[in-house]
Amino acid sequence: MELTGKRITLGVTGGIAAYKAAELVRLLIKQGARVQVAMTEAATHFVTPVTFQALSGNTVFSDQWDPRVANNMAHIDLSRDADVLLIAPASADFLAKVANGLADNLLSTLTLARDCPLLVAPAMNRQMWENAATQRNIATLRGDGVTVIGPARGEQACGETGLGRMIEPEDILAEVIAFFQPKHLAGKKLLLTAGPTFEAIDPVRGITNLSSGKMGFAVARAAQEAGAEVTLVCGPVSQPTPRGVMRIDVISALEMHTEVMQRAATQDIFIGVAAVADYRPATAAEHKIKKDGSAAPPIELVQTPDILADVAALPSPPFCVGFAAESQNLAEYAQKKRAAKKIPLIVGNLIQDGFGGDNNTLILFDDNGQRPLSPAPKIELARQLVAHIANLLENR
């Protein structure tokens, strides 16, 4: 429940995407937020206030003159009691009003009167989004410190396809969660690896491991939440890419090494989370190796490149962080790996504690000794790791 205790006023404006706002309320509540909904009159033509009242458990407001508010100042009360004001969907008309300081209904008035941050999720036809007037309004809003979430590209209710579709409720939720995270790494460029590698024996077989990539993707998400510009080089996994993260898919250790070394010199931070195969077949068979009753064919193995060591050995290396997944003697092996690669920080874990799962138990090893992190979901551990890296960068 990553939004426990957060108070969110959700503004819903007129547009077919208003139906998605109902799911957004459900997701926000599930994450522990208290949600107060305010609607424009146009929005009530798409989804009724009763729906939002049932989902949020709170009275829904749409009338600027609603007598249920004791002081008849809903436009003041609804923003003073909020940690953030989120408008989703935000129509072209409503964005124009906010950009130009207009206040002709409850929602536009409370937006103008707010003393909390404003997030908007635009939703409109592609032509309306691309219109020069809308783009001027968006530029004005961003200049005023408003966070603009989306829009996405895709099919629209009118039958056209293009940019202007409201991003999905799950993605808006992720953006809201990210908004509340401390921006420890604002302005930093961060490169990391995640997942396994696959070293081909023949066209269908290979050497790999059971890494799910979940820890690496959690670190990528946490770094992006902390304000970093994140590039993720990942092996063959099916994890969804965190919003705002640039993803590069690779298969083998050689491919991962190439992609990393092309970018590492321009980065502030490199984190090697991937479970890279230590060895690969010297040659891969062109065709599938057939079992014909004779002895098993010999497979000659050669070492793969040491990506972390090569990045750390650059003339001006980024701040390097390694991961050590061990089955025993964690402290001994992790410290030995940190010393051998000459890196400031290594993150250790026992594979029986989290390999492939959603939770993990980590120990951070640096010049100050070791710092154990209590068992927790991987995203929580990733946020603690990011905060620790930021602290080491600030004090080095």
Residue 77 has a pLDDT of: 66
Residue 24's nearest CA partner among 160, 215, 166 is 166
Q: Which of 116, 158, 234, 320 is catalytic?
A: 158
* Residue among 259, 251, 229 at smallest CA distance from 242: 229
d(CA 164, CA 85): 21
Q: Give CA–CA dist 236/40, Å, rounded.
A: 46
pLDDT value of position 73:
58
Whole-number Å distance between alpha carbons of 299 and 296: 9
Structure tokens at 367: 């010049």
Tens of pLDDT along 46-80?
999 999 999 999 999 987 766 676 555 555 667 67
Q: How far apart are CA 256 and CA 261, in angstroms?
A: 9
C-alpha 297/C-alpha 320 separation (Å) is 40
* Residue-level pLDDT at 159: 82
- Per-residue pLDDT tens for 122-169? 999 999 999 999 999 999 999 999 999 999 988 888 788 889 999 999
User: For the chain, which residues score pLDDT lower than 70?
Assistant: 65-67, 69-77, 79, 354
Q: Is 320 a catalytic residue?
A: no
Predicted confidence at residue 168, as pLDDT, reads: 94
Mean pLDDT of the chain: 92
What CA–CA distance (Å, rounded) separates 347 from 342? 14
pLDDT for the residue 78 = 72
Do residues 193 and 223 lie in contact, with contact meaning Cβ atoms separated by under 8 Å? no
**Neighbouring residues of 49: CB distance < 8 A, sequence distance ≥ 6:** 37, 39, 60, 62
Q: Are strands 301-303 and 279-281 parallel, antiparallel or unpaired?
A: antiparallel
- pLDDT of res. 69: 65
3-state secondary structure the chain: CCCCCCEEEEEECCCCCHHHHHHHHHHHHHCCCEEEEEECCCHHHCCCHHHHHHHHCCCCECCCCCCCCCCCCHHHHHHHCCCEEEEEEECHHHHHHHHCCCCCCHHHHHHHHCCCCEEEEECCCHHHHHCHHHHHHHHHHHHCCCEECCCEEEECCCCCEEEEECCCHHHHHHHHHHHCCCCCCCCCEEEEEECECCEECCCCCEECCCCCCHHHHHHHHHHHHCCCEEEEEECCCCCCCCCCCEEEECCCHHHHHHHHHHHHHHCCEEEECCECCCEEECCCCCCCCCCCCCCCCCCCEEECCCHHHHHHCCCCCCEEEEEEEECCCHHHHHHHHHHHHCCCEEEEEEHHHHCCCCEEEEEEEECCEEEEEEEEEHHHHHHHHHHHHHHHHHHC
Q: Angle 63-64-70 (CA atoms, 0-180°, nearest 5)?
A: 100
Cβ-contact 66, 39 below 8 angstroms: no
pLDDT at 347: 96
CA distance linking residue 212 with residue 241, whole number of Å:
13
Contact between 198 and 257 under an 8 Å Cβ cutoff? The reply is no
Domains in the chain (CATH in brackets) are 7-179 (3.40.50.1950), 189-395 (3.40.50.10300)
